[in-house]
Amino acid sequence: MIEAYFDGAAWPNPGGRGGFGALIKIDGRLVWEGYGYIGQGAQISNNVAEYAGAIVVMRQLIQRKITKATIYGDSNMVCRQMNGKGHSFNKQALYYPYYLLARKYRARLPEIHFEWIPP
């Protein structure tokens, strides 16, 4: 069983400093963890940070040739959008470029599922 987790935050939101954390477990054993600072300023928001975490997880799954996994996150928006549930968005939103990149990675992982963990 392969599980991955991601999270992201920005403070203040929007326009503050942002970062993310992520990890991957196989059969309950931690095989990868990562985190990153995505910057600060007007282009940073919680949604940007959440997407940065989801992207790094998908990138790691692809690099490891893992095609079947459950990815958990507390961003209902990211989980719904990555599962193709038609969550509405604004193309002018700060996270939109991250959404487009995430969608490209998601297309390479047809057997993964995003699962929302309520905060």
**How confident is the model at residue 87, as a pLDDT?**
67
Q: Domain ranges for the chain, please list them.
A: 2-116
For residue 118, say if its preceding peptide bond is cis, omega within 30 degrees of 0. Answer: no
Say if CB 105 and CB 60 are below 8 A apart: no
Reported as a single tens digit per residue, the pLDDT across 53-107 is 999 999 999 999 999 999 999 999 999 999 998 666 677 899 999 999 999 999 9
Reported as a single tens digit per residue, the pLDDT across 7-54 is 999 999 999 999 999 999 999 999 999 999 999 999 999 999 999 999
**This prediction's pTM:** 0.95
Q: Report the CATH fold assignment for 2-116.
A: Nucleotidyltransferase; domain 5 (3.30.420)
